[in-house]
Structure 1
Amino acid sequence: MKKMKSVYLLAVMALILVVATACGNKGTEGNANGDSKSASGSIVVSGSSAMQPLVAAAAEQFKEKNPDADIQVQAGGSGTGLSQVSEGAVKIGNSDVFAEEKEGIPADKLKDHQIAVVGMSAAVNPEVGIKDISKKDLIKVFTGEVKNWKELGGKDQKIALINRPDSSGTRATFVKYALDGKEPVEGAATEDSSNTVQKLIKETPGAIGYLAFSYFTDNSGITPLSIDGVKPTDENVQKGKFPIWAYEHSYTKGEPKGLEKEFLDYMMSDEIQHNLVPEQGYIPANKMEVKRDAEGKITKK
């Protein structure tokens, strides 16, 4: 009888050890949500070029953890992302603007996921000779009233404007918050990609354009402008001191599911929000001390 009890006790202990080992291993492998099964499938993400570097970097990290998942990240502008996700052409549409701000977009059919905040500012070729500009003068530059940098204390050089297309969320944000709604003068060079804008500002004498903070790196070859003496920094955006910023939205058509949900959950994870978001030049949404609605009204959190 004692021998049988000993065998029974050993069997129970072995079973407990197996269960404990299985529980301990759960979440050490698999997808970003800690599931034992790796995420799989394929989705396309399109839209904001200002947001593209962050989403592309996150997609690469996600795919390293989930080799059976394929996430293609494309640019094209916020309008393109919103149109394509509302039509079902892509699973996630990235935008620098609220869907309600884009005419023809069925915002009530889309689900908004605010991934981060992006600061933006005007930037010039380093040879222009200025590092700060008033908002009043900035408006004059982009509306064509001021045509030479010497009028603003810079080099005697003709101003070369570089613009973004109407579909661009970066353009919409810049026009709304930097130019007080005034549209840039017609005839300016228009580029689809923020990467191209950065390259042209660097290479074109007298050039000025506008970009997200993420493009203002030490080796970018361009000079970001302060506005009315306020530097374009994350801290100034967070405190509501610098006016040109926007939420980085990832929209889905209704509630996300499957791979799109797993990827968006990963985008909001501590790994991305605490590390990749600031590394890529963006601001975690939960670090903001102010908030802004679709009409542009700013209030304290």
Structure 2
Amino acid sequence: MNFQKIALFLVLLISISCFSGCMDNSGEVSEPVTIKMAGGTALIPIIEDISKEYMLENSNVQIEVTGGGSGFGVKETGEGHLTIGMAGRNLKSEEKELYNDITVYKIGLDGIAIITSNENNISDLTTEQVQKIYSGEITNWKSVGGSDSTINVYTREEDSGTRDTFWKEGLLQSNISKKALMVASNGEMKSKVSSDANGIGYVSIGYVDESINTVQFNGVEPTQENVKEGIYTIYRPLNLLTKGEPDENVKKFIEYVLSEKGQEIVKNDGFLPVN
């Protein structure tokens, strides 16, 4: 009989705790909070790592992070479908007009690296050479000092913030050939180019590792340090977005991202913190 009473007491205790919410890091009971985030894929590693730390400190918070591209992040935020959007670029003028209540929070800076396979011996390209490769005017690596092989050009979808920055700052708004092979994310770009001996593409510097070869642009290495020094010119802001002013739970998370701890994670993930 005593056992049955104890069991019943435990069931009631669990039920009460489930209805009452969760304990946060201050020791107070808080209601469950879900933060839905999506958009620019360059921000995914940063936000995933920060979210893990944040959820450990705030057990009542569940953060869901997906991609979709910067344009998707802006649109879904402006239409009220996301708690926080992610964009690897500034808002375009038409987006500002259409979604005039979006609030932007810059959380870091990121360079865009031109990449090839490790099998490719190209080490440096000029603006003119990159423009001609991407427009389809140069189609063989031999034309820029490489092997006698056809160049396979990879690019991102038009909503991509990485593409937008590369097009503006790397290509100086020149044409991208319709024959270019389209990929959906920074991760897919790295994977495709690393396995294609004749491929060329571009990724967030935060995604660069030993699986790919980075190409100097006008004689400058694509590193975050060179972005910081102002000598590497293909770079962009990393932004979080909310529709209007955020509520207290969302504001608290954004403040965490911009805190010393959050910015240290930004730096450790290979990006430039805003401070």
Q: When the two structures are superposed, what TM-score results if normalisation uses the length of structure 1?
A: 0.80
1:86-131 per-position Cα deviation (integer Å, ceiling 9, x unaligned): 0000011111121234557634211010010011121011222111
Give the match for residue 279 of structure 1: 268
SS in 1 for 2:42: coil
Alignment of 1:111-130 (within 5 A): 111-130=103-122
Question: Which of 51, 65, 71 pairs up with 1:79?
Answer: 71
Alignment of 1:138-153 (within 5 A): 138-153=130-145
1:30 is displaced (CA, Å) by 4.0
Q: How many residues align?
A: 253
SS in 1 for 2:165: helix
Is 1:257 the counterpart of 2:247 in the alignment?
yes
Give the letter for the 1:230 counterpart: V
SS in 2 for 1:175: helix
Provide the rounded CA distance (Å) in 2 between the counterparts of 1:95 and 1:35.
Answer: 34
* Percent of pairs with identical residues: 29
Give the letter for the 1:178 counterpart: G
Provide the rounded CA distance (Å) in 2 between the counterparts of 1:210 and 1:163.
Answer: 7
Is 1:184 the counterpart of 2:176 in the alignment?
yes
Give the letter for the 2:153 counterpart: L
1:150 is displaced (CA, Å) by 1.0
Provide the rounded CA distance (Å) in 1 between the counterparts of 2:113 and 2:167.
Answer: 11
Question: Which of 130, 153, 174 pairs up with 1:161?
Answer: 153
SS in 2 for 1:140: helix
> Where do 4+ consecutive residues of structure 1 move more than 6 Å?
none
Q: Which has the larger radius of gyration?
A: 1
1:238 is displaced (CA, Å) by 1.0
Is 1:51 the counterpart of 2:43 in the alignment?
yes
Give the letter for the 1:276 counterpart: I
Is 1:226 the counterpart of 2:202 in the alignment?
no
Give the match for residue 99 of structure 1: 91
Q: 1:133 to 1:101 in 2, by over 3 A?
A: farther
Q: 1:92 to 1:212 in 2, by over 3 A?
A: same
Q: 1:247 to 1:147 in 2, by over 3 A?
A: same
Give the match for residue 67 of structure 1: 59
1:223-251 per-position Cα deviation (integer Å, ceiling 9, x unaligned): 11111111111221112111111000101
Q: 1:157 to 1:64 in 2, by over 3 A?
A: same
Give the match for residue 235 of structure 2: 245
Q: When the two structures are superposed, what TM-score results if normalisation uses the length of structure 2?
A: 0.87
Give the letter for the 1:111 counterpart: T
| Contact 1:115 1:285 survives alignment (8 Å) | yes
| Contact 1:38 1:66 survives alignment (8 Å) | no
| Contact 1:278 1:284 survives alignment (8 Å) | yes
Let me know the Cα RMSD of the aligned residues. 1.8
Q: 1:148 to 1:105 in 2, by over 3 A?
A: farther
1:35 is displaced (CA, Å) by 8.2
Unaligned runs of 5+ in 1: 1-28, 287-301
| Contact 2:169 2:234 survives alignment (8 Å) | yes
Unaligned runs of 5+ in 2: 1-22
1:41-60 per-position Cα deviation (integer Å, ceiling 9, x unaligned): 10110100011111111111
Provide the rounded CA distance (Å) in 1 between the counterparts of 2:143 and 2:31.
Answer: 57
| Contact 1:110 1:254 survives alignment (8 Å) | yes
1:155 is displaced (CA, Å) by 1.5
Out of 101-110 and 145-154, give the one that drifted further. 101-110
| Contact 1:128 1:157 survives alignment (8 Å) | no
